[in-house]
Amino acid sequence: MLNEKVKKLLNEQVNKELYSAYLYLDFSNYFESRGLNGFANWYYVQAQEERDHAMLLYRYLHKNNEKVALEAIAQPDKKLDSDMGVLKAGLEHEIYVTSLINDIYSAAQSAKDYRTMQLLDWFVKEQSEEEDNANNLIAKMELFGSTPNGLYMLNNELAARVYAAPSLVV
């Protein structure tokens, strides 16, 4: 039986991960409209990852005999007015998600819910990678994105990203 606070936070996180997928689809849509299909691909793959993060939590809750309350997904609220602005909004969002995972971890630790902590260990590591990826994308854009040739090369690099489902088994 899951602790009530932990269960509530995990359930909220399912919905927040689905929002993250929706947000990244919006980012992908922005880049498609700019003709930057590589950037669009990068965020499309990112959206797939976020959906899978939600499903990992969904399955974990069900495995623990808990019902998931699916909420409405809010319309993304980020103003998408520049390529760099989108990348920085992505980093800001990942930092926010890290704080949410940390809050759930703290609640699980307080409840001595070691199974949930073990699940969240994967998410803690994943969030570190997500923040690194967002930072690296910003750094590359700062280095190469200001010239048409550099932007073209970076766009081609990002077009090569492929989706890989998480290997975590819940």
pLDDT value at 5 more than 80: yes
> What integer is the mean pLDDT of 20-39?
98
pTM given for the model = 0.94
pLDDT value at 127 more than 90: yes
Per-residue pLDDT reduced to its tens digit, 80-114: 999 999 999 999 999 999 999 999 999 999 999 99
pLDDT value at 135 more than 80: yes
pLDDT value at 170 more than 80: no
Per-residue pLDDT reduced to its tens digit, 17-27: 999 999 999 99
Residue 168 has a pLDDT of 72
Distance CA 138, CA 153 (A): 15
Give the CA distances from residue 33 to residues 19, 37, 84, 146, in Å, rounded to whole numbers and listed in that order. 21, 9, 15, 19
Spell out the domains of the chain, with CATH numbers in brackets.
4-159 (1.20.1260.10)
Distance CA 67, CA 89 (A): 32
| 128-160 burial: b if 16+ Cβ within 10 Å, else e | eebbebbeebbebbeebbeeeeebeebbeebee
Give the CA distances from residue 79 to residues 55, 136, 146, in Å, rounded to whole numbers and listed in that order. 27, 21, 21
Q: What percent of the chain has pLDDT over 90?
A: 93
Residue 166 has a pLDDT of 81
